[in-house]
Structure 1
Amino acid sequence: MKKRKLAVAALALIFGTNTFAQNLSAISQQETSRIIKTLSADDMQGRSAFTPGVDKAADFIAGEFKKTGLKPLPEENNFKQTFSVYRFTPQEKEVHLNGQTVSADNVFAVTNYEELEWDKDINVATEVIKESDNFRAAISRINSLEQNVLALVHPKHTDTFKAYQRYLTRGGIQQKKNEGNSKVFVLTDQTVATDYKIEIENQAEQLPLTNIAGMIEGKRKDEIVVFSGHYDHIGILTAVDGDSIANGADDDASGTTAMIMLAKYYKKQPKPDRTLIFVAFTAEEIGGYGSRYFSEQLPPDQIVAMFNIEMVGKPSKFGPNTAYLTGFEKSNLGELMQKHLQGTTYSIHPDPYPEQNLFYRSDNATLARLGVPAHTISSVQIDQDKSYHSVNDEIEQLDMAHMTNMIKAIALASRGIVYGNDTPTRVDKSTVRQ
């Protein structure tokens, strides 16, 4: 009897392995190459937000979802999840600080108000960015504060201050208008603000953005697994050797392609236990507005896991067919993925670049802040990648065999969660930086 059971088990293992191999054959290098080549082509013009190029990419992705047989999300008529943001362009700035008039060239504001009027009788906190401070870290901390802030910036930070100011002069993007808190930054050698008057006027322009989202309905409608990548990039740059298009092949046509291929893969499998949502996020490069909007449309407690995919077109430092998971320690999603890859040629590792803060630099962070086990799968060697955010990020720079194998690895690693056998631990929201 024992021999019979062992023989049956062995046959099951053989047939199971063959089934996996057959299933994974649906993820082909030829199809992967077709999709990423289209998304990173010159006629997409770098897929910058608010441009015809990103609209063309959106149409292409929606077309792929339709061919694959995905359904629109509930209460949506199609795959396009369109919403609005606002671009605030400074018009007038007048600041008086401790009896002195401050030049408008030494002021910028992070605000979604068309008109801002502050004086010493308004409840505004004062922060000082000292000569010894890290300006980028300080501004990030101040912007996260849930209150109005007047920040006095030491002149030592003039160059970085001016860079932020130039960026905002082109128009700062905000989700909402005339609500919430504002931050005003003043370049000055003064370290106290006993008396001040601030008047700022902005022009507010409403602009559309579009996520592309489709689904495979599972047996459990209220348990959701998200596969995602962002399809926008940074558009047109200063020409280098006659090339001005930042094609964004690895960042993040690779992740978007992987997400589409996983949709094609799971559509050919038996009906999943959990509902699968496949989403291409917009506006990641300008503040993650696509994932922010998406996160507001679903109860976060229903999202069991998020596999966000970013820059998987090149081998990782761990070698071919390997990738890493950002925020590995914040849930056990990575351990569950590793379990399902044992005995294969694929492997997932903890993020080897914690100093780069990659967990917070992609669309996973928005859902992780809500407690979702949301992580980014990546293989880019970010500390030495010279094509990042440049005109050289083209398909010719990618290893398509590696990328195709990474998609297969994610397919295998995610099956336990998709079919309800595994449930990752939730992210402790208190450990996630806002």
Structure 2
Amino acid sequence: MNIFRVCLLALACGFTTAASAQDLAPITQAEATRIVQTLSADDMQGRASFTSGIEKAADFIQAEFKRIGLKPLPGETDLKQTFAMYRVMPQEKEVKLNGKKLKPEHVFAITDKEELEWPKKGKQKVVTVSAQDDLRAVMGELSDAPEDVLVLVHPKHEELFGRYQHYLGSGSVKQQLGEGGSKVFILTDQKTASSYAVEVENKIEKLQLTNVGGMIEGKRKDEYVVFSAHYDHIGIQEALDGDSIANGADDDAAGTTAMMLLAEYYRQQPQPERTLLFVAFAAEEMGGFGSKYFSEQLNPDQIVAMFNIEMVGKPSKFGPNTAYLTGFERSDLGQLMQKRLEGTAYSIHPDPYLEQNLFYRSDNATLARLGVPAHTISSVQIDQDKTYHTVNDELEQLDMAHLTNMIKAIALASEGVVNGEDTPMRVDKAQVK
């Protein structure tokens, strides 16, 4: 065991040597508080995509990366990785089914066409969702269907139908236009569509999204270790007790803060064996578009591991100084992390919330689908958390001592991968949906 690791372990176990104090010096509660407070402040307006608030957050992260001394990501000339997306906003819709004009609230469409016209019954596939069927499952099955589909949904599903309609009514985001077929959903007790006509109009805007990323070049330049978090949130919501800003302190200003302090920590260490990439992803809340674009700029075979950090501002069910790793069984990265934390004050555990499907609910899933040992580190008790995606996710709800300790734990747990001693097994792409 080298002296660097001895020093780190000594600090984690509570020893107070000058060397250990210097090693983890950048990771302080004061710095963690400064960063998370800035990112979750009201003037960031909830960091929703395509708003001035998210742009302000990106500028702040970029300035911090410049201060730390990070280089642009491989192939980039700037710390901002900007790319184009298309926002599709529903405008007008008119549908007739079996000669009867339907109410607008009984219709929604999934299409990226500026104008969708089915003037009469044609070649569209017709699917019926009965009272006994699972509407969510049908939506999932049809999402990537290449053909046009008219879907007749039984009124029993009215509540869920309404939620889908409300969500889609605020618009959708596409990386490309013209992919897949159009789907039109109708809430009706009619089981057949002997005749129908559909007219849908959308407003399509080409807009920009921005990842913020920096690099510490390693001795093995083409072996990458990714530390990441998403910096977007859900913006302005319905007011609750006069507060309408969903500040996103835990989701995911906490994870972004951890990633940024790890960048500062590793920048002050000797040159790492592997190249370290630190990335704040855009548009996680809208479908992981930031991580998808990032993954397309690199060869995934060169990415040794991804430590994605999400909602680490509150203690986990396993007790103080603990966290869990999503998809623990899909690679041995979690075991390698556990081994590095043996004898320290910290511990990492398998995800205890498998029913929540957390592995697929953050940016790690994008890279895991490419075979990268990509996992999310989290500590939120997601089955009990009352502030998730609400206006109450604020700084005051966080345990800053816990957040600071989580950053130190990740620094310790990632050391073997960073210094080239540990190489996690690849994820089986065939087992990742």
Contact 1:24 1:265 in 2 (8 A): yes
User: 2:86 maps to which residue?
Assistant: 86
Say if 2:349 is the partner of 1:349.
yes
Shift of 1:270: 1.6
User: Is the partner of 1:131 in helix, strand or coil?
Assistant: coil
Partner Cα separation in structure 2 for residue 342 and residue 249 of structure 1: 30
Partner Cα separation in structure 2 for residue 198 and residue 54 of structure 1: 37
User: 1:61 maps to which residue?
Assistant: 61
Letter in 2 for 1:344: T
Contact 1:112 1:176 in 2 (8 A): no
User: 1:242 maps to which residue?
Assistant: 242
User: 1:6 maps to which residue?
Assistant: none
Partner Cα separation in structure 2 for residue 32 and residue 170 of structure 1: 34
Shift of 1:11: 8.5
Pick which of 347-356 and 9-18 moved more.
9-18
Shift of 1:288: 1.6
User: 1:227 maps to which residue?
Assistant: 227
Matches within 5 A, 1:63-212: 63-98=63-98, 100-118=100-118, 121-122=122-123, 124-193=124-193, 196-212=196-212
Letter in 2 for 1:190: Q
Q: Which runs of 5+ in 1 are unaligned?
A: 1-8
Contact 1:311 1:379 in 2 (8 A): yes
Partner Cα separation in structure 2 for residue 89 and residue 10 of structure 1: 57
User: 2:359 maps to which residue?
Assistant: 359
Contact 2:97 2:193 in 1 (8 A): yes
Contact 2:282 2:290 in 1 (8 A): yes
Say if 2:290 is the partner of 1:277.
no
Say if 2:287 is the partner of 1:287.
yes
Partner Cα separation in structure 2 for residue 363 and residue 221 of structure 1: 24
User: CA distance change for structure 1 residues 193 and 419 in 2, over 3 Å: closer, same or farther?
Assistant: farther
Shift of 1:266: 0.8
Letter in 1 for 2:90: P
User: 2:31 maps to which residue?
Assistant: 31
Contact 1:98 1:193 in 2 (8 A): yes
Partner Cα separation in structure 2 for residue 197 and residue 296 of structure 1: 40
User: 1:217 maps to which residue?
Assistant: 217
Say if 2:431 is the partner of 1:412.
no
Letter in 1 for 2:410: I
Shift of 1:228: 0.6
Partner Cα separation in structure 2 for residue 397 and residue 318 of structure 1: 19
Contact 1:114 1:178 in 2 (8 A): no
Say if 2:381 is the partner of 1:388.
no
Contact 1:127 1:150 in 2 (8 A): yes
User: CA distance change for structure 1 residues 260 and 16 in 2, over 3 Å: closer, same or farther?
Assistant: closer
Partner Cα separation in structure 1 for residue 357 and residue 312 of structure 2: 17
Q: How many residues align?
A: 424
Partner Cα separation in structure 2 for residue 129 and residue 282 of structure 1: 35
User: Is the partner of 2:176 in helix, strand or coil?
Assistant: coil
TM-score (ref. length: structure 2): 0.92
Contact 2:9 2:343 in 1 (8 A): no
User: CA distance change for structure 1 residues 205 and 16 in 2, over 3 Å: closer, same or farther?
Assistant: closer
User: Is the partner of 1:258 in helix, strand or coil?
Assistant: helix
User: Is the partner of 2:82 in helix, strand or coil?
Assistant: strand
Give the root-mean-square deviation of aligned CA atoms: 2.2
Letter in 2 for 1:58: A
Partner Cα separation in structure 1 for residue 28 and residue 201 of structure 2: 54
Shift of 1:244: 1.9
User: Is the partner of 2:177 in helix, strand or coil?
Assistant: coil
User: CA distance change for structure 1 residues 112 and 10 in 2, over 3 Å: closer, same or farther?
Assistant: closer
Letter in 1 for 2:143: N
Q: Which runs of 5+ in 2 are unaligned?
A: 11-18
Say if 2:265 is the partner of 1:265.
yes
Contact 2:150 2:183 in 1 (8 A): yes
Contact 2:8 2:23 in 1 (8 A): no
